[in-house]
């Protein structure tokens, strides 16, 4: 099933009317459709990232972050994403995407999407993103303050800060390479 159809279905269910605390976990129920499959007849690795988009949209609407972003004239942008695949999801199986806020730093907000089937985690997608406005990136502290949350993030797990640091390192390397290419 195409992402646009899933997003339309999500919006028709009016998730913005169901409030969720920004530290709670939101849940979207889905089913595996034939277009979600790869040649091995299970959900393709890339589709997990696409399905995480649906879970993230649900979270952003329910938590009120979308309204806050509109007040800042900002849009949510994914900077980096990482996936861990543990079990297969096969055609017509139902599953849930559990989305929760892990925390934030000076620039990035970190969200986790767990793909759960029969009470077991089939995969996890972690992303870091920003809210970008015409004047630049809106600090996460401004967003969470508007949501009524403390501006201090909960402690981030060591693996998450290490991953974020590695993403920053790759960004530096890519900028350096582009500088060498431009000469």
Q: 20 pLDDT exceeds 50?
A: yes
Q: 86 pLDDT exceeds 70?
A: yes
Is residue 168 situated within a structural domain? no
Is residue 9 situated within a structural domain? yes
Is residue 181 situated within a structural domain? no
**Where does the pLDDT of residue 179 fall: very low under 50, low under 70, confident under 90, or very high at 90 and above?**
confident
DSSP per-residue string spanning 67-110: HHHHHTTEEEEEEEEEEEE-S--BTT-EEEEEEEEEEE-SS-EE
Q: 180 pLDDT exceeds 90?
A: no
pLDDT tens-place string over residues 160-175: 999 999 999 999 999 9
Strand partners, 138: 131
pLDDT tens-place string over residues 64-75: 998 899 999 999
Report residue 29: phi and psi, to 5°.
-90, 135
Is residue 62 situated within a structural domain? yes
pTM: predicted TM-score of the whole model, two decimal places = 0.88
The parent domain of residue 147 ranges over 3-154
Share of the chain above pLDDT 90, in %: 74
Q: 149 pLDDT exceeds 80?
A: yes
Q: 1 pLDDT exceeds 60?
A: no
Is residue 103 situated within a structural domain? yes
Is residue 102 situated within a structural domain? yes
Give the C-alpha distances (Å, rounded to integers) separating 120 from 33, 55, 97, 102, 126: 20, 17, 12, 20, 17
Is residue 163 situated within a structural domain? no
CATH of residue 51: 3.10.129.10
Query: What is the C-alpha R_g of the chain?
Result: 17
Q: Mean pLDDT for the chain?
A: 90
Higher pLDDT, 59 or 182: 59
Number of domains composing the chain: 1
Run of H or E residues at 26:
strand 26-31
Higher pLDDT, 6 or 98: 98
pLDDT tens-place string over residues 89-131: 999 999 999 999 999 999 999 999 999 999 999 999 999 999 9
The 3-class secondary structure across 114-155, one letter per residue, is EEEECCEEEEEEEEEEEEEECCEEECHHHHHHHCCCCCCCCC
Question: CA geometry: angle at 118 spanning 117 and 119, to 5°?
Answer: 90
CA 175 to chain CA centroid, Å, is: 25
Is residue 177 situated within a structural domain? no
Report residue 52: phi and psi, to 5°.
-65, -35
């Amino acid at each position: 099933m195409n992402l646009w159809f899933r997003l339309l279905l999500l919006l028709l269910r009016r998730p913005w009317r169901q409030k969720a605390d920004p530290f709670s976990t939101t849940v979207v129920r889905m089913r595996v459709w034939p277009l979600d499959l790869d040649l091995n007849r299970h959900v393709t690795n890339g589709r997990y990232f696409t399905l995480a988009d649906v879970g993230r949209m649900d979270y952003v609407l329910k938590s009120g972050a979308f309204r806050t972003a509109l007040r800042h004239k900002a849009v949510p942008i994914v900077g980096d994403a990482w996936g861990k695949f543990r079990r297969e999801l096969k055609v017509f199986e139902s599953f849930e995407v559990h989305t929760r806020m892990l925390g934030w730093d000076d620039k990035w907000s970190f969200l986790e999407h767990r793909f759960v089937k029969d009470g077991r985690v089939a995969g996890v997608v972690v992303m870091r993103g920003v809210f970008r406005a015409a004047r630049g990136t809106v600090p996460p502290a401004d967003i969470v303050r508007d949501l009524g949350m403390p501006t201090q993030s909960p402690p981030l797990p060591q693996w998450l800060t290490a991953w974020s640091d590695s993403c920053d390192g790759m960004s530096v390397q890519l900028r350096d390479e582009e500088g060498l290419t431009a000469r």
